[in-house]
A and B are shown apart, each in its own frame.
Chain A
Amino acid sequence: MHSLARLNHYFIRYWRLFVPGLLFTMISAIFAIAVPVVVRQAVDSIPRFEVLYRQFQGTVLQHSLYWEIFWTLLIFGLIIIGLSLVSGLFSFLMRQTVIVASRHIEFDMRNTLYDHLQKLSASFYNRTKTGDVITRSTSDIEQVRRYIGPAIMYSTRALVIVIVAVVTMLIISPTLTLYALMPLSILGVAIFLVAHYVHKRSEALQRQYAQLTSRVQETLAGIRLVKAYAREKTETEAFEEESTLYKSRMLGLARVEAAWRPIFVVVVGLSQVMVVWVGGRLVTEGVITIGNIAEYIIYVGLMTWPIAAFGLVISMMQRASASSERIYEVLDEEPDISDGSRTDYSVTKLRGHVKFENVSFRYAEGLPYALRNVSFELHPGGSLAVVGRTGAGKTTLIELIVRLVEPTEGRILIDGKDLRDLPLSVVRESVGYVAQDLFLFSDSIGNNIAFGTVGASEEEIRQAAFEAELLETVLEFSEGLNSGVGERGVSLSGGQAQRTTIARALIREPKILIMDDALSSVDANTETRILEHLRRRQGQHSMILVSHRISSIQDLDQILVLDEGSLVEHGTHESLVEHDGLYAQMHRRQLLEARLEAIQ
Chain B
Amino acid sequence: MNTEKGLDRRLLGRIIGYLMPYKHWVILAFCLVLLVSFLGPLRPWLIQIAIDNHIVPGELDGLVILMIALIGVLALEGALSYVNAYFTQWIGQQAIYDVRVRVFRHVQQQSLSFFDRTPIGRLITRTTSDVEALADVLSAGVVVIMGDMFKLLFIAAFMFSLNWVLALVTLCVMPFMLLVTLWFKRNVRGQYRETRKQVARLNSFMQEHVTGMQIVQLFGREQVEMNRFEKINDQHQIAQLKTVFFHSLFWPAVDIIASTAIGFVLWTGGVSALSGAITVGILIAFVQYCRQFFEPIRNLSEQFNTLQGAMAGAERIFDILDNDQSLPQVEKQIPQDRLEGEIVFDNVWFAYKNHDDGTPDWVLRGVSFKIRRGQDVAIVGATGSGKTTIISLLMRFYDIQKGRILLDGQDIRTFRLRYLRWRIGLVQQDVFLFSGSIARNIALDSPGITLDNVKQAAKAVGADKFIGQLPNGYDQDVRERGSSLSQGQRQLLSFARVLAHDPNILVLDEATSSIDTETEQMIQRALERTLEGRTSLVVAHRLSTIRYADTILVLHKGLLREQGTHDELVAAGGLYQTLYELQYREQEQLGASALVTEG
- Residue A270 at the chain B interface, CB threshold 8 Å: yes
Q: A273 to B55, alpha carbons, bound, how many Å? A: 13
Q: How far is the CB of A586 from chain B (nearest CB, A)?
A: 11
Q: Measured between C-beta atoms, what is the minimum distance from B224 to chain A in Å? A: 6
Q: B307: CB under 8 A from chain A?
A: no
Instruction: Tell me if A50 and B273 are in contact (CB < 8 A).
Output: yes
- Check B74 against A266 for contact (C-beta < 8 Å): yes
Cβ of A17 within 8 Å of any chain B Cβ, yes or no, is no
B417: chain A residues at CB < 8 Å are: 230
Chain B contacts for A441, CB-based, 8 A: 208, 212
Min distance, Cβ A360 to any Cβ of chain B, angstroms: 22
- Given known contacts A43-B280, A76-B266, A111-B233, A232 and B109 CB-to-CB distance under 8 angstroms: yes
Structural contact, A49 and B274, CB atoms closer than 8 A: yes
From the candidates A66, A77, A222, name the one contacting B264 in the complex (CB within 8 A): A77
Please name the residue on chain B nearest to A433 by beta carbon: B218
Question: Do B270 and A42 have beta carbons less than 8 Å apart?
Answer: yes
Q: CB distance B444 to A293 under 8 Å?
A: no
Question: Is A107 in contact with chain B by the CB < 8 A criterion?
Answer: yes
Report the bound CA distance from A266 to B123 in whole Å. Answer: 45
Point out the residues of chain B lying under 8 angstroms from A488, CB to CB. 208, 211
B contact residues around A592 at 8 Å (CB): 578, 581-582
Of B255-263, B347-355, B451-459, B519-527, the segment with at least 4 beta carbons within 8 Å of chain A is: B255-263
Interface: B550 (CB within 8 A): no
Q: Is the CB of B104 within 8 A of A231?
A: no
Least CB distance from A83 to B in Å reads 7
Q: How far is the CA of A442 from the CA of B127 in the complex (A)?
A: 28
Closest Cβ neighbor of A66 among chain B residues: B274
Known: A76-B267, A227-B112, A284-B58. A89 touches B252 (CB 8 A): yes
* 26 residue pairs A–B, Cβ–Cβ below 8 Å: A35-B259, A49-B273, A50-B273, A73-B271, A74-B267, A83-B259, A106-B237, A107-B233, A107-B237, A117-B213, A118-B217, A130-B207, A138-B199, A224-B112, A247-B94, A254-B85, A257-B89, A258-B85, A262-B77, A262-B78, A262-B79, A265-B74, A276-B55, A280-B55, A428-B220, A454-B221
- Do A232 and B108 touch (CB < 8 A)? yes
The answer to whether the Cβ of A185 comes within 8 Å of any Cβ in the partner chain is no
**In this complex, what residue of B is CB-closest to A99?**
B244
In contact, A231 and B112 (Cβ under 8 angstroms): no
Q: Which of A547-564 contact B (CB under 8 A)?
A: none
Rounded to whole angstroms, the CA-CA distance of A595 and B382 in the bound complex is 11
Interface string of A284-302 (1 = CB under 8 A from B): 1000001001100110010
- A250 contacts the other chain (Cβ, under 8 Å)? yes
- Which of A120, A229, A597 has the largest count of B CB atoms less than 10 A from its CB? A229
Give residues in B with beta carbon < 8 Å to A.
40, 43, 47, 50-51, 54-56, 58, 60, 63, 67, 70-71, 74-75, 77-79, 81-86, 89-90, 93-94, 96-97, 100-101, 104-105, 107-109, 112, 115, 120, 123-124, 127-128, 135, 199, 202-204, 206-222, 224-226, 229-230, 233-234, 236-237, 240-241, 244-245, 247-249, 251-253, 255-256, 258-260, 262-264, 266-267, 269-271, 273-274, 276, 280, 283-284, 287-288, 291, 382, 395, 397, 417-419, 421-422, 424, 426, 428, 432, 434-435, 444-446, 501, 556-557, 575, 578-579, 581-582, 586
- The answer to whether B267 and A217 touch across the interface, beta carbons within 8 angstroms, is no
Contact partner of A216 (CB less than 8 A), chosen from B128, B237, B253, is: B128
- Residue A322, interface by CB 8 Å: no
Do B112 and A247 touch (CB < 8 A)?
A: no
CA of A320 to CA of B180 in the docked complex: distance in angstroms? Answer: 33
Q: A111-B230, A218-B435, A599-B575 are in contact. List 19 more A-B contacts (CB 8 A).
A: A76-B263, A87-B255, A88-B253, A130-B211, A218-B434, A226-B108, A231-B444, A235-B108, A243-B97, A254-B85, A255-B86, A262-B85, A265-B78, A273-B71, A280-B51, A280-B63, A297-B288, A451-B219, A589-B582
- A244/B97 in contact, CB under 8 A: yes
Question: What 0/1 pattern do residues 24 to 58 of A give for CB contact below 8 A with B?
Answer: 00000000100100010011011101100100000
Residue of A nearest to B557 (CB): A600
Cα A263 to Cα B229 in complex, Å, equals 45
Q: How close is A261's CB to chain B, nearest CB, in angstroms?
A: 5
A425 within 8 Å of B (CB atoms): yes
Note all chain A residues with C-beta closer than 8 A to B271.
69-70, 73
Interface-side segment among A90-98, A171-179, A339-347, A567-575: A90-98
Closest Cβ neighbor of A104 among chain B residues: B237
- Main SS class of interface, A: helix
Residues of A within 8 A of B107 (CB): 220
Q: Which residues of chain A come closer than 8 Å to B67, judged between CB atoms?
A: 273, 276-277
Task: State whether B50 touches A88 (Cβ < 8 A).
Answer: no
CA distance A168 to B422 in the complex (A): 81
Q: Which residues of A contact B218 (CB under 8 A)?
A: 402, 404, 428, 431, 433
Say yes or no: is A60 at the interface (Cβ < 8 Å to chain B).
Answer: no
Chain B proximity of A28: nearest CB distance (Å): 8
Interface mask (A410-439 → B, CB under 8 Å = 1, otherwise 0) = 000000000000000100110101010001
Please measure, in the bound complex, the distance between the C-alpha atom of A260 and the C-alpha atom of B419, giving whole angstroms: 54
Q: Is A100 an interface residue (CB 8 A)?
A: yes
For the complex, is A323 an interface residue (Cβ under 8 Å from B)? no
Contact of A540 with B by CB under 8 A: no
Q: How far is the CA of A70 from the CA of B249 in the complex (A)?
A: 32
Q: Which residues of A contact B43 (CB under 8 A)?
A: 269, 272
Which residue of B has the minimal Cβ distance to A425? B220
Chain B residues positioned under 8 Å from A290 (CB to CB):
51, 55-56, 280
Q: Which residues of A contact B214 (CB under 8 A)?
A: 122, 125, 404, 435, 439
A491 beta carbon closer than 8 Å to chain B = no
Total number of residue pairs linking A and B with CB closer than 8 Å = 371
**Shortest beta-carbon distance from A52 to chain B in Å:** 9
A369 on the B face (CB < 8 A): no
Contacts of B115 in A (CB 8 A): 220, 223
How far apart are the CA atoms of A32 and B81 in the complex, in Å? Answer: 30
A91 and B267 in contact (CB under 8 A), knowing A236-B108, A251-B90? Answer: no
Which A residues touch B226, using CB under 8 A?
111, 114-115, 118
List 7 tightest A-B contacts by C-beta distance, closest first: A88-B252, A77-B263, A258-B85, A84-B259, A95-B248, A254-B89, A77-B267
Interface pair B108/A247, CB less than 8 Å apart: no
Query: Which B residues lie within 8 Å of A504 (CB)?
Result: 219
- Whether A73 and B267, one on each chain, are in contact in the complex, defined by CB atoms closer than 8 angstroms, is yes
| Chain A min CB distance to B166 (Å) | 13
**A49 — which chain B residues lie within 8 A by C-beta?**
270, 273-274
Given known A-B contacts A224-B428, A262-B82, A134 and B255 have beta carbons under 8 A apart: no
Assembled-state Cα–Cα distance A273/B78 (Å): 14
**Chain B residues near A431 (CB, 8 Å)?**
218
Instruction: Contacts A234-B444, A284-B58 given; indicate if A213 touches B128 (C-beta within 8 A).
Output: yes
Q: Which residues of A contact B212 (CB under 8 A)?
A: 439, 441
Taking a contact as CB atoms under 8 Å apart, the answer to whether A429 and B263 are in contact is: no
A297 near B287 with CB under 8 A, answer yes
The answer to whether B210 touches A230 (Cβ under 8 A) is no
Q: Are B432 and A225 in contact (CB under 8 A)?
A: yes
Q: Are A39 and B287 in contact (CB under 8 A)?
A: yes
Q: Does A133 contact B (CB under 8 A)?
A: yes
B395 touches A228 (CB 8 A): yes
- Nearest to A95 among chain B residues (CB) is B248
B81 CB, min distance to chain A CBs, angstroms: 5
Contacts of A220 in B (CB 8 A): 107, 115, 120, 123-124
Q: Which residue of A lies closest to B230 (CB)?
A: A111
Cα A425 to Cα B74 in complex, Å, equals: 71
Q: Considering the chains assembled together, what is the distance between the CA atoms of A117 and B382 in angstroms?
A: 46
Interface members, chain A 103-117 (any B CB < 8 Å) = 103-104, 106-107, 110-111, 114-115, 117
Closest to B124 in A: A216
Q: Enumerate chain B residues within 8 angstroms of A487, measured Cβ to Cβ.
A: 204, 208
| A46 CA to B51 CA, complexed, in Å | 15
A595 and B85 in contact (CB under 8 A), knowing A243-B97, A247-B97, A251-B90? no
Is A365 part of the binding interface, using a Cβ–Cβ cutoff of 8 Å? no
Q: Chain B's nearest CB lies how many Å from the CB of A150?
A: 10
A81 contacts B578, C-beta separation under 8 Å: no
Tell me the complex Cα distance, A247–B422, Å. 33
